[in-house]
Amino acid sequence: MKKCRIIMTLAVLLLCLGCGGALAAPTAEFTPLTGTAIYVNNQYLPLDTMPLLAEGTTFVPLRVVSSALGAEVSWQNGEARIVQGDKTITLRPGEPNANVNGQSVRLFAAPRTDSGRIMVPLRFVSEQLGATVQYANHAVDIHPAAGTVLPDIPKQIGCIGADDTAEYIYYGGYDGKMWRVNRKTLEQEELAITPAEPLASGDTPYADYSALNVWGGKIYCSGDYSYKHDEGRLTVFDPATGQTTYPAAEDERLNNKSYRYQIYNGWLYYQTAPSTYGDLYRVALAGGLPQGAAQKLASNIHHFWFIGETLYYNDWAGKVFQANLDGSGAQKLGFLRGSVSGLKAYDAGWYYYTSQGGDGDLKLYRVRPGDQAAQEIFNITASGRFFSFGRMQVVGNYLYVAVSDLAEYMPGKTGGTFGAVWRMDLNGQNMTQVTLVKTAYFYVFRDVILYSDVTDINNPVWRAERLK
């Protein structure tokens, strides 16, 4: 009997091999993954499509995650090719085996395409690129191998007033002051800043540090220690020494008219207007300093942001465009119909924007490529009153929103005055109040919310709290 069972088992194996040369891949049902945020080297990683889940395995867009780990991704003849140093990985959608430096490696489930993107097992692609993966508290942490040269992780829409490292969150304002908060203890510290040039007699320090980037251990921001509040000057601050420098630049705009900096893939991107609509430029960085002539990328834009190898921006008319990182190949995103000047957030393939009606009704929408119509996910009706959404930020499965007077329309909630921050699911459901005071600006960094308390509008106070 035992011998018979062995023969039958061998027969089944031979039959499987004969049908395809390999055992059939296990079938898996893919569903959208909710409730999980992905971090690379402690930095939140915005995605261009929703992660998927199949039998306990997380699938992510190949290009975005691989690029964040310093790999180059190309596509040819229906095959994805990932190169990092001396390692080359190739795979095809629908095939359960990848090729790693000439060796076949079997996957739990075959890669698939979703919304035009290749989705692969997160752990597979991360570990093959030398990283480790940890799952805890609705977060996925990808830790690159020591010595890996990583590209810059893009900021989200509007998240330009603060930046973070593994130890601190740095932030500033329009009053020439800069602070940092310890991520573990939440203790706040004002940084001592030494101007690069001595102040003239009678001058008091003024600088716009409301947009900053931490890069190479230093902080890049728009500063000017003078009364010339309409000027923006590229300023580099070293938090270790307190020294500031004004790097020489060929582009005169970097000396007196540049704002909203973002450093991405070795380039410094900036606008020529502080808060409204300005032209978008970029200049190469070498050794942390601007080099050569600036490139003009777009005119009269409001916000700009990056996902992978793509630049996005919305213009004065509320139209949203995507382009190559050098500004070439710009195309209007046709699925965003009408004006979306209220574009607030973008993540996992969804765009979130607002519409303010003449009767005071406020609506929050979301839409993604391919949708025939946007989804209305929240609507406040307030006859004779004005309500508005402030800034928004998507982190994992939550949308954080600053909303005026919302508490008056939420039974049982108190303290939600103008600018209170609320958290909701990505479909607009299950709203909970996060802050109990008037809030002008806020930023969410993993489990910490940093916000400005403007209860006393003449004496705003920055606060840092642990999210519950």
Structural domains in the chain, CATH included, are 30-143 (3.30.457.10), 154-333 (2.120.10.30), 338-468 (2.130.10.120)
Token pair in block for residue 214: 């931490």
How confident is the model over 189-195, as a mean pLDDT?
Answer: 85
pLDDT digits (tens, 9 = 90+) for 342-359: 677 888 888 888 765 544
Tell me the pTM. Answer: 0.82
Q: Which residues contact 25 (CB under 8 A, 6 or more apart)?
A: 96, 107, 109, 110
Phi/psi of residue 312, each to 5°? -120, 150
User: Which residue is associated with the tokens 């290009």?
Assistant: 63
pLDDT band at 308 (very low <50, low <70, confident <90, very high): confident
pLDDT digits (tens, 9 = 90+) for 159-171: 888 899 889 999 9
In angstroms, the CA 191 to CA 419 distance is 27
* pLDDT above 90 as % of the chain: 32
Residues in the chain: 468
**Where is average pLDDT lowest: 6-15, 300-309, 389-398?**
6-15
Token pair in block for residue 165: 């490292």
Residue of 314, 310, 394 whose CA lies nearest to 352: 394
229 pLDDT above the threshold of 80? no
B/e letters for 445-456, b = 16+ CB within 10 Å, e = fewer, are bbebbbbbbbee
Q: How many CB atoms lie within 10 A of CB 211?
A: 25
pLDDT at residue 327 in the model: 97
In angstroms, the CA 47 to CA 355 distance is 25
pLDDT at residue 129 in the model: 96
The DSSP-derived string for 163-214 is EE-SSEEEEE-SSS-EEEEETTT--EEEPP-B-SSPPPTT-------SSEEE
Q: Please count the CA atoms within 13 angstroms of the CA of 166 that sit on its side-chain side.
A: 6
pLDDT band at 282 (very low <50, low <70, confident <90, very high): very high
In angstroms, the CA 203 to CA 227 distance is 8
Whether residue 41 contacts residue 152, with contact meaning beta carbons closer than 8 Å, is answered with no
Token pair in block for residue 209: 């540090």
pLDDT band at 388 (very low <50, low <70, confident <90, very high): low
In angstroms, the CA 316 to CA 143 distance is 40
Reduced DSSP (H G I as helix, E B as strand, rest coil) percent helix, strand, coil of the chain, to 5: 10, 45, 45
Average pLDDT, the chain: 81
Q: Label the pairing between strands 162-164 and 168-172.
A: antiparallel
* pLDDT above 70 as % of the chain: 80
Token pair in block for residue 131: 């990283």
How confident is the model over 33-51, as a mean pLDDT?
Answer: 86
pLDDT at residue 329 in the model: 97
R_g of the chain computed on alpha carbons: 25
User: Collapsing DSSP states into helix, strand and coil, what is residue 314?
Assistant: strand
Residue of 313, 341, 315 whose CA lies nearest to 327: 313
Beta bridge partners of residue 148, listed in sequence order: none
Q: Which residues contact 323 (CB under 8 A, 6 or more apart)?
A: 297, 298, 310, 311, 312, 313, 329, 330, 331
In angstroms, the CA 335 to CA 342 distance is 16
DSSP label of 65: H
Q: How many CB atoms lie within 10 A of CB 15?
A: 9
In angstroms, the CA 393 to CA 464 distance is 16
pLDDT digits (tens, 9 = 90+) for 251-268: 888 887 888 889 998 999
pLDDT at residue 427 in the model: 86
Greatest pairwise CA separation for the chain in angstroms: 102
B/e letters for 366-377, b = 16+ CB within 10 Å, e = fewer, are bbbeeeeebeeb
